Amino acid sequence: MRLKRIFRYGLAVGLAVGLAALTGGCFKMAVPDSKPAPVILWPAPPEIPRISFVNAVSQQADLGIADGVVKGFLKYLLGKPVTPMVGPHGVAVDAEGRLYVVDNFLKKVHVYDRQGGKYNLLPEKGDGFVSPIGIAIDDKRGRIYVTDSVQAVVRIFAKGEAEQVAEIKSGGMDRPTGLAVNAVADELLVVDTLHSSIQRYSLADHSLKGVIGLEGSEAGQFHSPTDIAVGPTGMIYVTDALNFRVQVLSPEGKFLRSFGGAGDGPGYFSRPKGLALDGDGNIYVVDALFDNVQVFNAGGELLMAFGKPGQKPGEFWSPSGIFIDRHNTIYVSDSYNKRVQIFQYLKGGELP
């Protein structure tokens, strides 16, 4: 049996290398043809459109990423399948346009390099995580931060590196989940859901600088917060999940205002999770029970919502994370549908 595997491996390598030589090393495995994305707009016509559906991603081919000839033939002949998403949660995009998706089920981070046409996993080898949840990127220093909730640790990777380079365990973290980079204050903010607080770490040396909040329902207090985002001026936005609200804090962590409440109507929350801000300061809040994303202005007034329960494009099944890049492209982890859906904020209603 062992000799058969060795022979099969040798045959795969020989065929792959031979084909690469014949094609000058430029041949790539074909990416399956994909159907054009359906045109879905929110709000629906005749209203002015503000959000459009772009794509749904569950594996590298959905982004037009193909394996090189050697890698592709090895995977094919050795029976190694592609690695689709299974339990997407945290999501982020770096300055180079790479898409990172935390997969809580696979205990890995999918990395889709659309510009370079490459796909890989973090960590590349071994088990890596136990319960990964959130992700944040410090583009200035080239670092990737991922919370490992059950292990009560933030694992650190360097861009371009396949394995962990450092970790943060100080400050008494118990259940780290959401996290965000505050470039204005040069801090990493980590949500501790179990302790109902936010820990502030220096991005320079990862030392603990302080803790924001404690458990309660008063202004500035939290009850099982889940996610955090930072605006361009350093303002902090927190999904205060079991208080069914979003709290807005100053860059120093002082309470400014909140919006939302428990309910099943527009502008209320049932199971709020991820949140993000677009380039105009609008606040997007994912609700896993409503299966939608509600959009509020900077003052906390509801503007609109998009998505509904289902499995079709533009529909969600227990969504969790959200990220909005500098092009106002919106990425939503559609967890139980095992995909990330991509949308575009249209600002004044112009179609892409």
What's the pLDDT at 74? Answer: 42
Spatial distance between the Cα atoms of 91 and 329, rounded to a whole number of angstroms: 12
pLDDT of residue 350: 65
Instruction: Supply the pLDDT for residue 127.
Output: 75
How far apart CA 99 and CA 119 sit, in angstroms, is 10
Q: How many CB atoms lie within 10 A of CB 26?
A: 8
Amino acid identity, position 350: E
DSSP at 168? E
What value does the mean pLDDT of the chain take?
A: 88
pLDDT of 96 higher than 80: yes
Within 13 A of 9's CA, how many CA atoms are on the CB side?
6
What is the per-residue pLDDT across 99-153, written as a single tens digit (0 to 9) for each? Answer: 999 999 999 999 999 999 999 999 998 777 999 999 999 999 999 999 999 999 9
CA distance 191 to 238: 9
Higher pLDDT, residue 7 or 308:
308
Specify the pTM.
0.88
Q: Rg of the Cα trace of the chain?
A: 21
pLDDT digits (tens, 9 = 90+) for 206-250: 999 999 999 999 999 999 999 999 999 999 999 999 999 999 999
CA 317 to chain centre: 16
At 83, the pLDDT band (50, 70, 90 cuts) reads confident
pLDDT exceeds 70 at position 276: yes
Helices vs strands, H then E, count in the chain: 2, 25
- Taking the chain, what is the end-to-end CA distance rounded to the nearest angstrom? 55
Of 34, 31, 121, the residue nearest 67 (C-alpha): 31
- Alpha-carbon span 125 to 129, nearest angstrom: 11
The Cα 245–Cα 240 span in angstroms is 5
Please state the separation of Cα 202 from the chain's center in Å: 22
Q: How far apart (Å, rounded) are the C-alpha atoms in residues 211 and 43? A: 40
* Chain-centroid distance, C-alpha 283: 16
